[in-house]
Structure 1
């Protein structure tokens, strides 16, 4: 749940490292700002405590470096035309770890993942050495199909592959809970947590026939309802260069007002939302996150596909390094519930003499 005064990621999150490139980290971080024991661990001088320090302490300095340098995600770099060799980036998501089995007698390790839009058709490959593994957990945690956070830089780009080397690979977790848990889920806000949307009936699921009524609900109807619920007295007009469909400072969460930026999609494309549905250049979601908001809302008349959700989470993660934010998904079912709660759910279409809905 969003809370008043929630902190940015370098404070609210913790990076537990499984891999660290000591030389690259030392070059990245100013040794003058690091405690002596951290420098000792990075230079191999403190064997007794080095595992604990490298696993649990160095990550906080790297998170701060990411925030200070405004390090971007790969999709952001692609939209900004900055996807180049030598450019640093962050990645948080699914990867496949290779080389961690005992049968691998070499030092070579890798993490790979097929990328979605705007980098569809490309594969991300992190390449690194066993020498940088900082604890025994790394072998099981990084092997096979898994989810990890990585901060690295691009070494090579071609038509099908983006190669990179990491500064650090690990788990991004919450620092505010007694038991650590992944940080990613804390970025998502449920629609019912917004007080103006809390009247929806979560137990109602439209049947397939009922769900098709969403094709008769225009984006304008949804926009007008949202503006009315948020006490916005004017409904914004659509225009080609807009960054959001609705921008309101009246979202109430846990008794506090927050600014929300909305991306709305009506029934012109009645299918699961894909990144290619988001503007002529597929950059509508990227432009949404350029707005200084606290809550970013993606609404669609149908389901919201995994690629869109992953892209939104990546943008929210990058923004959370500099400002607290959350994302909220309002798919077709949630939208239908909201319409129904406020008397706007369409009646069943009349049946023609041929037995078909008109």
Structure 2
């Protein structure tokens, strides 16, 4: 089924909501508790709302088709599930889907079939120090504040990345799907391609979905890059809504990729580790 979704390019639920189109979705979603699952032959599962959309989402399912007692209990409690679902109808501002497959979003051993003790989406989460090119940050404490990032322009931070990776950088333009695309990253010695979405101090505040274009469409465009890792960097804090959105787009079940979040303090840590902070501050004054 995942190969089918990959073949026809089925969207994530977030993408369906952002683009307001699509009859199928394939993604990891969160549902609210549904205790009536034990009493009714058919129930509606309400999905957690997505910050960038005004639509509500419900999953309509027949309880007798839930074959596992454990899954039955977990759906009743609510939580995170991997789902492939088909659109049925629009009821006011609520999109109603019928799940074709629903299960737990956990990693499994391909040889034994046993579940690993790690959630599917968490497996793909990388941190700055996981990249060989940024390994020097391990010797530096996380700065207590990101205030210095207010002085560093987005374009200058991109140049700093170029210096660290010994790679040239280009000026931004309106049609780009990412701010910086590189094939010169390594994770545990393995070469990978990374696509960066960078946000400077033009709006020096915690990153929300509103920072990412209309309804967060910059995340959608970032996910279209042919990259192994999707990276979002911001000069300030990054809110949970952005983290969840990036996670969903990166870990699409039929095309899972790694993802990384670099907030203001991590950004400053990178610059300090590579002796580029003062250069970046001075260079930003020229821009």
| Pairwise TM-score range, normalised by the shorter structure | 0.7 to 0.9
Please state if 1:329 is matched with 2:261: yes
Say whether the 8 Å CA contact 1:99–1:109 is kept in structure 2: no
Deviation by residue 1:179-216 (Cα, 9 ceiling, x = unmatched): 42321112222211111111114762333xx4222211
Gap change, CA 1:281 and 1:98, over 3 Å in 2: closer
Please state if 1:97 is matched with 2:30: no
Q: CA deviation at 1:328?
A: 1.1
Deviation by residue 1:207-266 (Cα, 9 ceiling, x = unmatched): 3xx42222112112211111111110x221011222111111100111122111111000
Q: CA deviation at 1:145?
A: 3.3
User: Which of 36, 42, 46 matches 1:112?
Assistant: 46
User: Which of 30, 40, 65 matches 2:4?
Assistant: 65
C-alpha separation between the residues in 1 aligned to 2:136 and 2:234?
Answer: 19
Gap change, CA 1:165 and 1:140, over 3 Å in 2: same
C-alpha separation between the residues in 2 aligned to 1:122 and 1:192?
Answer: 38
Bigger Rg, structure 1 or 2: 1
Aligned length, in residue pairs:
276
Please state if 1:339 is matched with 2:278: no
Gap change, CA 1:145 and 1:281, over 3 Å in 2: closer
C-alpha separation between the residues in 2 aligned to 1:170 and 1:281?
Answer: 28
Please state if 1:182 is matched with 2:119: yes
Gap change, CA 1:337 and 1:194, over 3 Å in 2: same
Gap change, CA 1:126 and 1:179, over 3 Å in 2: closer
Say whether the 8 Å CA contact 1:196–1:229 is kept in structure 2: yes
Gap change, CA 1:189 and 1:205, over 3 Å in 2: closer
What's the counterpart of residue 89 of structure 2?
156
Structure 1 or 2: larger helix share? 2
Q: CA deviation at 1:67?
A: 2.5
The RMSD of aligned alpha carbons is 2.4
What secondary structure is seen at the aligned counterpart in 2 of 1:118?
A: coil
What secondary structure is seen at the aligned counterpart in 2 of 1:168?
A: strand
C-alpha separation between the residues in 1 aligned to 2:46 and 2:185?
Answer: 39
What's the counterpart of residue 243 of structure 1?
177
**Any gaps of 5 or more consecutive residues in structure 2?**
282-287
Gap change, CA 1:159 and 1:196, over 3 Å in 2: farther
What's the counterpart of residue 9 of structure 1?
none
Q: CA deviation at 1:279?
A: 2.5
Deviation by residue 1:3-38 (Cα, 9 ceiling, x = unmatched): xxxxxxxxxxxxxxxxxxxxxxxxxxxxxxxxxxxx
Say whether the 8 Å CA contact 1:227–1:246 is kept in structure 2: no
What's the counterpart of residue 284 of structure 2?
none
C-alpha separation between the residues in 1 aligned to 2:19 and 2:257?
Answer: 21
Say whether the 8 Å CA contact 2:37–2:63 is kept in structure 1: no
Please state if 1:229 is matched with 2:168: no
Gap change, CA 1:163 and 1:326, over 3 Å in 2: same
Deviation by residue 1:276-313 (Cα, 9 ceiling, x = unmatched): 11135631111111111111111011121111122212
